[in-house]
Amino acid sequence: MSVRAVTGAVLPRAAEAASPERVAAALDLLDRRPLVVLTGAGLSTDSGIPDYRGPGAPTRMPMTYQEFVGSHEARQHYWARSHVGWSRMGRAEPNRGHLAVAALDADLVITQNVDGLHERAGTPRLVALHGRIADVVCLACGTVSPRADLQERLGDLNPDWLARHVAAAVRPDGDVDLSAEDTSTFVVPACACGGVLKPDVVFFGETVPLDRVTPCLAAVDALAETDGALLVVGSSLAVMSGLRFVRRAAKAGVPVVIANRGQTRGDDLADVAVETDCATFLESLIGRRAG
């Protein structure tokens, strides 16, 4: 079922993206259907975590996996910024959007976010596609440990760091804006085995683990058998790790609805794409499905 089937005519994307008619079409399409929900950074902006590509977001260049593993200086730069950022991100609370996603009781929620806010909101059946910033992994021995433990070690080794950089601007990945010169004295600890410590998240240039992708693809495929729909919320779909699910659903004839504050890379594949406040849209959907 497309927006044409719901409203009788395709609404012009540029002029009507946030119109009441388009919102109603999206809600009608999702009503009573089984859902798989894909979320992105736009869902966490109301929790004080900026996104990479939302309206008005400045251009940011995240560190790549190759950069991180390539030099001690790069890791020094990463952890120096992340130490400050985690002291703030670690205190972020789920917002209305996270709580609404949890209340939808979807067949599966796939999040591209690493902030752990869906988990804290109590979302059942969740795959954190890109991992969780609250965990740290050793690249040598594979041990996974809590980020809180590393944060304490970093604080002991760099006792005045947080106070010196309290005004640094927060970035989407849980770090802050600091120059390489600013971070050249930062002390980075190793794992007990001597290996390199890395946040247990998928960096740009790194492959999403297959054991996370496989259940997500299976859940999207199952929607074709259950007359379900794929709902994308708060993602620009600029990276393939999320866009692949939209492409797969569209190819299988599964209805796709996208709700985001701006246009997305997947809009042309969607049955309905709405430019809207994500939390408000989700709360309207819950009201519709409960009626």
Asked if residue 55 is part of any domain, the answer here is no
* Residue 58 falls inside a structural domain: no
Do 225 and 89 lie in one domain? The reply is: no
Residue 128: strand pairing partners = 111
Give the pLDDT of residue 181. Answer: 67
Quote the domain boundaries for residue 186.
65-93+133-201
Give a yes or no: residue 54 inside a domain: no
Q: Which residue has the tokens 């309206």?
A: 55
Same domain, residue pair 107 and 180: no
Annotated binding-site ranges for Zn(2+): 138, 141, 191, 193
- In the 8-state DSSP scheme, what is residue 260? E
CATH of the domain at 167: 3.30.1600
What pLDDT is recorded for position 12? 43
Q: What is the model's pLDDT at position 266?
A: 96
Q: Which of 150, 173, 201 is the last residue of a domain?
A: 201
Q: Phi first, then psi: what are they for 199, rounded to 5°? A: -60, 140
Residues of the chain with pLDDT under 50: 1-15
What pLDDT is recorded for position 200? 95
Task: Judge if 144 and 250 occupy the same domain.
Answer: no
Are 286 and 232 contained in the same domain?
yes
Quote the number of domains for the chain.
2
Same domain for 150 and 265, yes or no, is no
Q: Model-level pTM?
A: 0.88
For residues 236 and 53, the answer to whether their CB atoms sit within 8 Å is yes
At residue 44's C-alpha, the angle toward residues 81 and 277, to 5°, is: 140
The DSSP annotation for 155-205 comes to HHHSTTHHHHTTTPPB-TTS-B---TTTTTT---PPPTTSPPEEEEE--BT
Residue 137 identity (one-letter amino acid): V
User: Residue 28 is part of a domain; what is its CATH number?
Assistant: 3.40.50.1220
Active site residues: 130
Q: Does the residue 124 lie in any domain?
A: yes
Spatial distance between the Cα atoms of 231 and 248, rounded to a whole number of angstroms: 13
pLDDT digits (tens, 9 = 90+) for 111-126: 999 999 999 999 999 9
Can you say how many angstroms the Cα of residue 7 is from the centroid of all Cα atoms in its chain? 31
Q: What is the pLDDT of residue 5?
A: 39
Residues 147 and 191 in one domain: yes
